């Protein structure tokens, strides 16, 4: 096995960062199924042409890059991540996993392997475009349908089925993308931590044993639009004032569950009519609630529901809720965790076995095949932000550790 | 003097309502200086062609429709209002005043008049497009410059100078629109109340003695954009959570001054990046604060400033403020109020002398010439809303009362 080529890894990560790049300081906006998503992927495929991989695309646009093994009857060892970003995102979230997987294929290219090696590019891991996350892997795991994922169209954008068509896929045939349990030997994903734990403890590797999963819902507040000058205080049903109370209630619900690792965020707010001289008549909030403890998540949700009732009653507004996704936290494969644990011990690297606060495509792969993840530290824990940064030394260490594990499974 | 032709008035109001009409139930969006603003005005001018008025436009697009008087050395009696609407607005705010003024010209068309009669269509009374209100009348009164009014461009829209150019005006020549004190004999505006007072008291006419003026400002909150799943509660600087506290502080500041008639509204909120899985890093709030009591307005402003300091300190975010407009409440002409008072008494109509909570073009005309306004009731006090409605009988009564006053000044 060759050692990690840091220059090659860095070249691919920085090269991908040119696609969807915003003006200075505003990071990268490369939304799923966009033209930038396509051109970034095409550029990457050109760069790894020397690997002579067999490249296929499934019915929803997930891409598979296969190096066949000696025994083609055995399922391959799979790796991968995603190339799409949030709005004004960074260069490392997702790309580290795709580039890392391809680097492992370079490192092992001259090794004789019994099993094949597969790198997967999952489509639409980020919810930035369609308000649903890990869409490609969820469809692949048969956990959702295109219809179910079509509930989150953004103002001024096309719907998910329309985006599939624009990508060249037939939404009617999406179920052909579903894979069966045992389709791979195992699935491995390297990712930046997107938190501050590794940086603060000075550890270089995180072995992920469980993944928190998001519950996402919209809250719709309906008050009364009125003239801002001629409507006395006390005569108003201001939807934005009620929304502000709910934003604080969401933050309190999660803060009360802080010790269990539960978090909640209102990341999107839309109001109508949105004019400086009109009391807002309608407000919509998108809430993202996550944790690794089901009971804690349920308590936070109940607390938010209580606030909805209280605010509706006190403010004389109507508040309804629509659940978009409600995923369960996922435990990863204990056997794969042990393999990584042994490799880290032998290597002498500082590491920890930890949960993931963020969701990943790996959580859906875990329902099909034994799955594990490797985290590397990122600066300040910052992610989904132009300032997202991970040191090439840390990324290389993560690739090196995962390469040893993958080799062990494939050889 | 002919009596009011209700059918003609209704025809013009309903006819104007067709321009910028949204889908069912979403009212009218006819933004200032837009194509719809232009076509609505052109349609109106065609309808009143029989009056043979001398029509001119000033350097910022305000339109003047003049019937000359016997003595052309005397300044005319001026009336008017506006044709632009808010986003998803109604059919009566502004249009009642323009159509009412033109109806008075119809009623007096066969009377011999010493002074001329002038109907003015002021451009951009609503702040919906450029986040500044009464732009046309403010420029006419020399109270602002195009440069000063160019601070409120909305996302995705062109700037005010660009809109002036698109309308056919040269922004460099805007100062040519400035009028001098005494340019008219007097200015009169009929308007729906946009409040609930007349409806609740059962009075048909409001004689406006003063106009509350808006103080408008933006608050900019800068926190830190972070991954919504991997950033624990307590490690966040969520700009939207801080914004929510400020929205409630704005509402409290005005509610504490309720007895003085002060009101405050956050009508616009913008956040960045606005993605369901990112803790918001930036938020911008547009605040509209109004009253008829300078001391009360100042106390409310001080209370909001205190909240800005408190929230910045408690949440570890940066909060800055930018004042967009800061107008003083305006007293209208006592002599004109008396004329209307006498007419109402003689007529036997139920009326009241009252302040206006909303701002109007009349408040800028008041700095040039004696000015007064007539209010008519509107249903539920609702305005800036598709449900805005005023009875034709009430509008006709307002026109009738104002026609008598205007005739008295012009004859």
Q: What is the value of ipTM here, to two decimals?
A: 0.72
Q: Could you say which DSSP state residue B387 is in?
A: T
**Percent of chain B beyond pLDDT 90?**
85
Distance, C-alpha B322 to centroid of its chain: 21
Identity of the residue in A224, A244, A265 whose CB atom sits nearest the CB atom of B279: A265
Q: Cis peptide before A273, with omega less than 30 degrees from 0? A: yes
Angle CA B98–B101–B105, to nearest 5 = 135
Say what the alpha-carbon torsion angle A141, A382, A292, A347 is, to the nearest 10 degrees. Answer: 80
Chain B residues in contact with A288 (beta carbon < 8 A):
228-229, 276-277
**Within a 13 Å sphere around the CA of A66, how many CA atoms are in the beta-carbon half?**
14
CB neighbour class for A295 (10 Å; exposed up to 12, middle 13-18, buried from 19): exposed
Q: How far is A320 from chain B (nearest CA, A)?
A: 18
Q: Which long-range contacts (CB under 8 A, 24 or more apart) does B155-164 make?
A: B155/B270, B157/B129, B160/B130, B160/B132, B160/B135, B163/B32, B163/B33, B163/B129, B163/B130, B164/B33, B164/B60, B164/B61
Going by their DSSP bridges, the two strands A205-211 and A351-356 should be labelled as parallel
List all residues of chain B from 116 to 135 with a beta carbon under 8 Å from chain A: 126-128, 131, 133
Going by their DSSP bridges, the two strands B205-211 and B213-222 should be labelled as unpaired
CB A287 within 8 A of CB A264: yes
Mean per-residue pLDDT of chain B: 95
Q: pLDDT tens for residues A121-143?
A: 999 999 999 989 999 999 999 99
Tokens representing B67 are: 């019937």
Please tell me the distance from the alpha carbon of residue B165 to that of residue B173, in angstroms, as a whole number. Answer: 11
Chain A residues in contact with B322 (beta carbon < 8 A):
none
The pLDDT of residue B147 is 95
Please tell me the distance from the alpha carbon of residue A194 to that of residue A389, in angstroms, as a whole number. Answer: 10
The pLDDT of residue B175 is 97
Taking an 8 Å cut-off on Cβ atoms, the answer to whether A88 and B225 are in contact is: yes
Q: Which long-range contacts (CB under 8 A, 24 or more apart) does A72-75 make?
A: A72/A116, A74/A114, A74/A115, A74/A116, A74/A185, A75/A115, A75/A116, A75/A182, A75/A183, A75/A184, A75/A185, A75/A369
Tell whether A87 is within 8 A of chain B (Cβ): yes
**Given pLDDT bands bounded at 50, 70 and 90, which one contains residue B277?**
confident
Mean pLDDT of B385-409: 97
Mean pLDDT of B373-397: 95
The pLDDT of residue B253 is 98
Is pLDDT at B62 greater than 90 in this prediction? Answer: yes
Identity of the residue in B224, B263, B274 whose CB atom sits nearest the CB atom of A229: B263
Q: pLDDT tens for residues B208-250?
A: 999 998 899 999 999 998 888 888 898 899 999 999 999 999 9
List of residues 6+ apart from A81 with CB closer than 8 A: A94, A95, A96, A97, A98, A100, A101, A121, A122, A125, A189, A190, A191, A360, A361
Packing angle of the helix pair B239-255, A239-255 (nearest 10 deg): 130
Instruction: Reduce the DSSP state of residue A379 to 3 states and report it.
Output: helix
Q: Cis peptide before B273, with omega less than 30 degrees from 0? A: yes
- Burial pattern B160-177, b for ≥16 Cβ within 10 A else e, equals bbebbeebebebeebeeb
Chain B residues in contact with A196 (beta carbon < 8 A):
235
Mean pLDDT of B301-322: 98
The β-bridge partners of B283 are B221, B271
The pLDDT of residue A277 is 83
Residues of chain A with pLDDT under 70: none
Q: pLDDT tens for residues B152-199?
A: 888 889 999 999 999 999 999 999 999 999 999 999 999 999 988 899
The pLDDT of residue B337 is 98
The pLDDT of residue B236 is 92
The pLDDT of residue A28 is 97
Size of interface A-B (CB pairs under 8 A): 264
Q: Could you say which DSSP state residue A41 is in?
A: H
Q: Could you say which DSSP state residue B59 is in?
A: T
List of residues 6+ apart from B270 with CB closer than 8 A: B155, B283, B284
Task: List phi, psi (to 5°) of A124.
Answer: 55, 55
Taking an 8 Å cut-off on Cβ atoms, the answer to whether B245 and A244 are in contact is: yes
Is pLDDT at B300 greater than 90 in this prediction? Answer: yes
Please tell me the distance from the alpha carbon of residue B77 to that of residue B111, in angstroms, as a whole number. Answer: 14
């Amino acid at each position: 096995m060759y050692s990690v080529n840091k220059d090659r890894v860095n070249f691919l990560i920085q090269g991908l960062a040119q696609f969807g790049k915003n003006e200075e300081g505003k990071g990268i906006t490369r939304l799923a199924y966009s033209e930038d998503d396509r051109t970034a992927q095409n550029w990457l495929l050109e760069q790894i042409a020397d690997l002579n991989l067999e490249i296929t695309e499934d019915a929803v646009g997930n891409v598979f890059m296969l190096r066949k093994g000696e025994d083609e009857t055995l399922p391959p060892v799979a790796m991968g991540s995603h190339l799409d970003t949030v709005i004004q995102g960074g260069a490392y979230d997702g790309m580290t996993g795709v580039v890392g997987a391809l680097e492992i294929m370079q490192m092992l290219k001259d090794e004789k392997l019994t099993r094949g090696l597969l790198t997967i590019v999952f489509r639409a891991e980020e919810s930035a475009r369609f308000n649903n996350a890990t869409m490609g892997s969820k469809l692949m795991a048969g956990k959702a349908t295109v219809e179910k994922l079509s509930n989150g169209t953004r103002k001024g954008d096309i719907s998910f089925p329309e985006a599939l068509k624009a990508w060249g896929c037939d939404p009617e045939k999406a179920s052909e993308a579903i894979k069966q349990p045992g389709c791979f030997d195992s699935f491995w994903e390297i990712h930046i931590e997107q938190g501050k734990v590794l940086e603060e403890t000075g550890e270089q590797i995180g072995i992920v044993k469980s993944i928190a999963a998001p519950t996402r819902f919209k809250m719709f507040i309906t008050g009364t639009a009125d003239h801002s000058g001629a409507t006395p205080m006390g005569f108003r049903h201001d939807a934005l004032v009620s929304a502000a109370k709910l934003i604080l209630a969401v933050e309190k619900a999660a803060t009360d569950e802080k010790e269990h690792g539960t978090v909640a965020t209102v990341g999107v707010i839309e109001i109508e009519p949105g004019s400086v001289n009109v009391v807002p008549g309608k407000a919509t909030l998108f809430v993202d609630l996550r944790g690794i403890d089901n009971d804690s998540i349920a308590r936070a949700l109940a607390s938010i529901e209580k606030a909805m009732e209280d605010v509706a009653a006190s403010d004389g507004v109507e508040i309804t809720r629509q659940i978009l996704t409600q995923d369960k936290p996922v435990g990863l494969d204990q056997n794969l965790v042990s393999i990584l644990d042994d490799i880290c011990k032998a290597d002498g690297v500082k590491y920890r076995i930890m949960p993931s606060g963020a969701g990943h495509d790996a959580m859906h792969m875990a329902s099909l095949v034994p799955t594990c993840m490797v985290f590397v530290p990122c600066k300040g824990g910052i992610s989904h932000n132009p300032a997202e940064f991970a040191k090439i030394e840390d990324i290389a260490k993560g690739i090196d550790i995962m390469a040893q594990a993958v080799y062990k499974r494939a050889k």
